[in-house]
Amino acid sequence: MPRTATRAAQPFAKGLGLHFESPTRPRDKRKTQNFVHIAGQDEPADADNPLDNDYPPVPKHRILPDQSAQRLYHSWKSLIPTIVPLYLSYVSRTLGNPLPASPRLLSVCHRDDCTPKTTSILALFFDLLVYFGLFPTAPSQPRMAVSIDLLAFYRALFERSCDAINALSSALHNHYVRRGFRIVNNKGDVIQEPFRRSLGYAVQWYDILLVEVEHNLEATLQASRDRIRASKQSTNASESVHPTPSPSTPPLARSFPAPPRTPSSAPPSPLIPRQCAQILIQRCPACFGGTTFGKGLAEGGDIHVATDGNFHHRHRRSAGDSPAFYDPAYFLPKSEVDAMGTRIQEQRKKPPKRGQSKVPDEALDSCESSYEAADGKKQKTSMESFDDTGLMALICRHDIPLFFANIDSPGEQQKYSLALLARLFSLLPTSANVIALYDVGCTLDRTISLYGILPDDIVARMRFATTAMHAYGHEWACQLVYNPRLVEGLGLTDGEGTERLWSRLIKLISIQRSSSRQRRIWLIDRQAAAVGAEMRWDLGDWIKRRLQRGVQDQDQAAKQVLDDCGVAIQDLRRQWASQKESQLSLRAHAPARLKKELDTVLALQADIDTADRAIQTAKTAIEKQQSVSDDTKHALSGLERAHERMMTKVEALYSSLNVTDQFPELQGLDLEYVRTLLLARDLKINIRKRAIASFFEWDKLDQAVGGAQKALGTKLHQRTRKAIAKRQPALMSAIRKFNTYCAQLEELHDPSWLIPVLRPLPTKLNELRNDDSLMEDVWITPSLEQIPRWMDDKNVRCGIRAVLKRDRCLEERRRLGFEADNLCRWYGSELAAVELALRTPGNETFSLLLQHCREQLLTLPPRWSSTLVSIARFNAHTEDAKALAVRLSEGTPEISLHWVTPTVIEAPEAISEEHLILPPFLEANGALDTEDVIALDYLIDQVPLADQDGEPPGSTVPPRIIWRTPLVTLQFPAATRVLPETEGFARGFLEPEDIAMLASPTSCINDVCLNNCIPLLFSAIHTHTSIPNRYAVFTTYDLPRARYKNDPELWRATKHTQFWTKDLWILPIHRPGHWVLCIADLSRRELRLFDSLAEESPWRKDVNDITSFIGRLCGIAKSTLPDVQLHFNLQDWQARPLVMVPVQTNNYDCGIWVLATVAATLRGFHVTSLTERDMPAFRAYLHNCVLSLP
């Protein structure tokens, strides 16, 4: 058969093709259709006709709650408030005692002579279950009850692990089965899961019971806080309000050079006394426990918070929902979040505002395209399978959760973070400034500025920054403005606390996906409450760790770098300012159009290079052959000519981009040099992105080193390793290509161009991570003069980073001192509230819980005391809290539930004279004081003497006379006292309220008393000695006035002291709740510091203010009075404390101690010889001096 020429002419079968069947074979006639039963085997089962068709029906899965579930949850919510007293009664009987055995008979009868009678009934006394420590599993007619102690243990386990109802119920079931107890139903069938549902209800509603108790306890404490606040307001209503100095700061240390204030920078903002909402204070007293706000954003603001989203905490749509049973304390309502989303949509429809951005738009566009969080439209979760896709958290800088927003959209939209920030500002004073850290804070800041999403009063008090770890994925220009390690005021705040919070909540991810939506919110909210409470008690340890590992260690390392670099700090600061100015300019960023076209040319150049290598490889292989045809040589020559023409066209295309027009500074440079320079610039940007991604992958892989974090699973570990191995060759190839460009640029470089030579990058990942030049862009603009040192000198670059690190450490130390003061203040106020609640009638039900709160608070001073705040201050707050509670409760004794066994004492019939015990001042050999004699005569005259032969008319026990100074002095009619104007002192007034403070032995004196008592001491001592003529006495208002007043106003307020003629300056200083004193000796260049509590840490800020105050006054006097020769040089000054050990143990004599030290100073001494026992007498002396005034 001849072969067909074409494929179409070949034969084929249409349709499904040809089918082949096996040929039929003849059937064996010996086979029959009979079934044979094999011996020893059962008969086969009849699958078509089963013996039992009664299988239990499969229950239908319910997604939404039905009417029965609604009724059940309503019954539970109605029951919980009624059993709170019973639960508290059980806790009162068992707290701190061994658990009693459960009684076999639950009865309300407490008589022992009753004859028990057993009767089977259907109804039970459900209230007796809780009274005897059993919690029902149903709101009515419960079939099972769970021990409250077991539920309490499970709650403690839940706080440390997660929800484990299935594990606990299965463990209980196995335990009882092994002990021989099986749970059966009314038919006698074994129940497979007898405890899961009932135990789940018990755990859930027991926690709701605890929430109800917590709310009642918090309401009781809040009532006490309101009473304390009202009493303080009434006490301070008559006092004058003056600016309060900033909180105490760390001690003076020469290792922390303060950054100089530039002429353009504004002076510190005045602080305004306000208070945050109580919910924020209770969640983090270190951040929100302050009483003054208004610190400028350039100085770091008042509060640092961080926000971030997590899309692992999802909820499956198929898991359904349950009736609402819990009001979350941390989650924002959905309506509040949706309202913010609606506002964002409405504002985006308006034209954007015009304004100058801090960062070039090209850099922000690059950041926005690099992070998924900046793309709200990116779908991170399938909405078909999940109805809740994640969480957005807002935390303080101590990683304590503040609020959550439930994410129910596919992407990380901006409405969640903005809703959280809006809620935060609604709970802050109107003067509080906030720094918000977000991984895409740069793009969020630009969005708010362009569209005005948030109100102007919030925008003016908020500043954004990126988190420390995510900052290195941003453009360098963005980092100069938003990196917390490069900008001023943020200290060592990193904003990565959200990642640590997600690590704590990671155990809930798998459980909450299969739980109902309401139960998911309850699990997360209660876990967040447990985490927040634990971290709040750990705040003192957190401050100690940050002070040691963060401030001191990092500062020492930075100091060593500065010593090694050998460049002056002032020069480094100037170089850093020059670097920021240059790298934030628009010229430092190529226009987007030019970059896009240049990328196309670079891609074409890469393809041409590949083709050239292929041609050269083919030419080499062909030339090795012995016989090559002319056609082959001609074709090879044609390829080379075509390649040369292609190279020429590419050069023309590159020239058509007009790079010199976009960069006039590059005009006149060699074209090959410019082309290679731009290639190296774009290649380094690509290398940086690849390297940072690789760093993150290695960090994820090594996160379990040393047990720091949870280890990855085997599958995820292998996938990460494969991803690293897959991307590493491309990174290494890019680095080698960049190093080749560096070599070419070094050969083509001309020093007259004033463009720095590029440094090659290391090819090892560890060395690349620590290389400083990785984050620097390729400089494509010639310098106007010489190459800046920050660009060319490695020592300068290292020195700049060390200076920035030391500045951040100094800022962190100051903020830690502020937070330590807040903790100490919160401790005193909270303890006072607890003490007052314990003494308030009507709180007997919560007395045991209040006592437990007090015991927990009293354990804080050893944990929270540090070098920033001494334990003496905590002890003073402890005594003050008790005294305040006693005063407000008007002597009401503390509530106590401890039963005391009565003791019967038989009184003697008579007491003989020789057994009569006399007080010490009535003994025969004791000398009587005048007051004692008067008291004895009064008693003899008033008490009738008994008949010598008869029985005494009353008790035979003699009275014990106690003669003490009355607690309250007699109040004489007082009037306003006028202090006349004298040399060096202005005219003063003392109102009756001020005089009453001096009269009371336990009252703190105010600024009016302090400022007017010093002239009295001055006039009294001046009559005996001429030493006071050397002193210039300032008021407590002068140091705060120097912070916000201009030179003419400061001169008018202080010129009456004639300080330019005196060499010793007395300067009283007011701190929050405390008075201190500074004596400045200008002749000896010495500051003598007096603090009756002997604290070191608060003097850091005060000494800086004092030196600034002295220098400013000297400058004003020199400019105002030409004849004055007053010079002030900060060098060689020394600050010395006058006391090293606290001389004051109470909390009200600090002002009296300051006046006593002033009196000793005016007499020519450094310290006073008075002791704390002498303070009442010295106070009385001052009171008499005031009363002697007209």
Q: Which 8-state DSSP code applies to residue 548?
A: I
Q: Is pLDDT above 90 for 1001?
A: no
Q: Which 8-state DSSP code applies to residue 464?
A: E
Q: Give me the pLDDT at residue 533, please.
A: 93
Q: Is pLDDT above 50 for 922?
A: no
CA distance 1106 to 1099: 10
Q: What is the mean pLDDT of residues 1064-1080?
A: 89
CA distance 501 to 806: 28
pLDDT per residue as tens digits for the range 1074-1132: 899 999 888 888 888 999 988 887 888 888 888 888 888 888 888 888 777 666 666 67
CA distance 536 to 871: 18
Q: Which two tokens stand for residue 58?
A: 């499969």
Q: What is the CA radius of gyration of the chain?
A: 42
Residue 695 near residue 727, CB atoms below 8 Å: no
CA distance 289 to 371: 35
The answer to which of 330-334, 790-794, 953-957 has the lowest mean pLDDT is 953-957
CA distance 1014 to 1010: 7
Which residues partner with 1033 through β-bridges?
1066
pLDDT per residue as tens digits for the range 289-301: 998 898 999 889 9
Which residues partner with 306 through β-bridges?
395, 437
CA distance 623 to 631: 14
Give the sign of the dihedral formed by CA 367, CA 368, CA 369, CA 371.
Answer: positive
More confident residue, 382 or 1036: 1036
Q: Which 8-state DSSP code applies to residue 1113?
A: H
CA distance 1021 to 1009: 18
CA distance 312 to 784: 52
pLDDT per residue as tens digits for the range 703-749: 554 444 555 555 555 666 666 666 667 777 778 888 888 888 788 77
Degrees to nearest 5, angle at CA 434 with 433 and 439: 155
Q: Is pLDDT above 50 for 616?
A: yes
More confident residue, 764 or 209: 209
Q: Which residues contact 1061 (CB under 8 A, 6 or more apart)?
A: 1032
Residue 760 near residue 739, CB atoms below 8 Å: yes
User: What's the farthest any 2 CA atoms get from each other in the chain?
Assistant: 165
Q: Which of 977, 1047, 1042, 985 is nearest to 1011 (CA)?
A: 985
Q: Which of 252, 247, 251, 253 is nearest to 273 (CA)?
A: 247
Q: What is the mean pLDDT of residues 144-151?
A: 86
Q: Which of 787, 295, 327 is nearest to 521 (CA)?
A: 327
The shares of helix, strand and coil residues in the chain, as percent rounded to the nearest 5, are 50, 5, 40
Residue 141 near residue 129, CB atoms below 8 Å: no
Q: Which of 803, 299, 787 is nearest to 570 (CA)?
A: 803
Q: Where are the extended beta strands (E) located within 421-572?
A: 434-437, 462-465
């055995």: which residue's tokens? 101
């100015």: which residue's tokens? 581
Q: Give me the pLDDT at residue 1068, please.
A: 92
Q: Is 146 helix (H, G, I), strand (E, B) or coil?
A: strand
Q: Which two tokens stand for residue 1064?
A: 């010793």
CATH code, residues 977-1187: 3.40.395.10
User: Phi/psi at 1088 (nearest 5 deg)?
Assistant: -100, 120
Q: Which two tokens stand for residue 737?
A: 């290509």
Q: Which residues contact 556 (CB under 8 A, 6 or more apart)?
A: none
Pairing of strands 390-396, 272-273: unpaired
Q: Which of 759, 776, 806 is nearest to 563 (CA)?
A: 806
More confident residue, 864 or 927: 864
pTM above the 0.85 mark? no
Q: Which of 291, 242, 302, 241 is nearest to 269 (CA)?
A: 302
DSSP H/E element including 67: helix 67-79
**DSSP readout, 418-457?**
HHHHHHHHHTS-TT--EEEE-TTHHHHHHHHHHH--S-HH
Q: Give me the pLDDT at residue 399, please.
A: 93
Residue 866 near residue 547, CB atoms below 8 Å: yes
Q: How far is CA 934 from CA 919, 925, 926, 970, 1061, in A?
A: 15, 18, 15, 19, 55
* SS3 readout for 99-159: CCCCCCCCCCCCCCCCCCCCCCCCCCCHHHHHHCCEEECCCCCCCCEEEHHHHHHHHHHHH
Q: Which of 509, 482, 674, 480 is nearest to 580 (CA)?
A: 480
pLDDT per residue as tens digits for the range 280-337: 999 999 999 998 898 999 889 999 999 999 888 888 888 888 888 889 999 999 999 9
Torsion of CA 186, 189, 190, 195, to 10 degrees: -30
| pLDDT band for position 403 (cuts 50, 70, 90) | very high
Most confident of 133-142, 621-630, 855-864: 855-864
Pairing of strands 390-396, 145-147: unpaired
Q: Is pLDDT above 90 for 539?
A: yes
CA distance 1030 to 1080: 12
Q: Is pLDDT above 70 for 630?
A: yes
CA distance 1075 to 1008: 13
Q: Which residues contact 290 (CB under 8 A, 6 or more apart)?
A: 247, 276, 302, 818, 821, 822, 825
Cβ atoms within 10 Å of 387's Cβ, excluding its own: 16
Residue 1154 near residue 1068, CB atoms below 8 Å: yes
More confident residue, 925 or 427: 427
* Ramachandran category for residue 480: left, alpha or beta (phi over 0 → left; psi -120 to 50 → alpha): alpha
DSSP H/E element including 293: strand 292-293
Residue 1085 near residue 1093, CB atoms below 8 Å: no
Mean pLDDT across the chain: 76
Q: Which of 1168, 1138, 1143, 1172 is nearest to 1155 (CA)?
A: 1168
Amino acid in position 756 = P
Q: Where are the domains of the chain?
A: 66-91+123-237, 272-375+386-537, 604-622+630-662, 802-888, 977-1187
Q: Which two tokens stand for residue 613?
A: 């290598």
Q: Is pLDDT above 70 for 923?
A: no
CA distance 1059 to 1048: 16
CA distance 135 to 145: 5
Residue 1031 near residue 1161, CB atoms below 8 Å: yes
Amino acid in position 946 = A
Residue 88 near residue 851, CB atoms below 8 Å: no
Torsion of CA 658, 661, 665, 667, to 10 degrees: 60
CA distance 799 to 805: 10
Q: Give me the pLDDT at residue 831, please.
A: 94
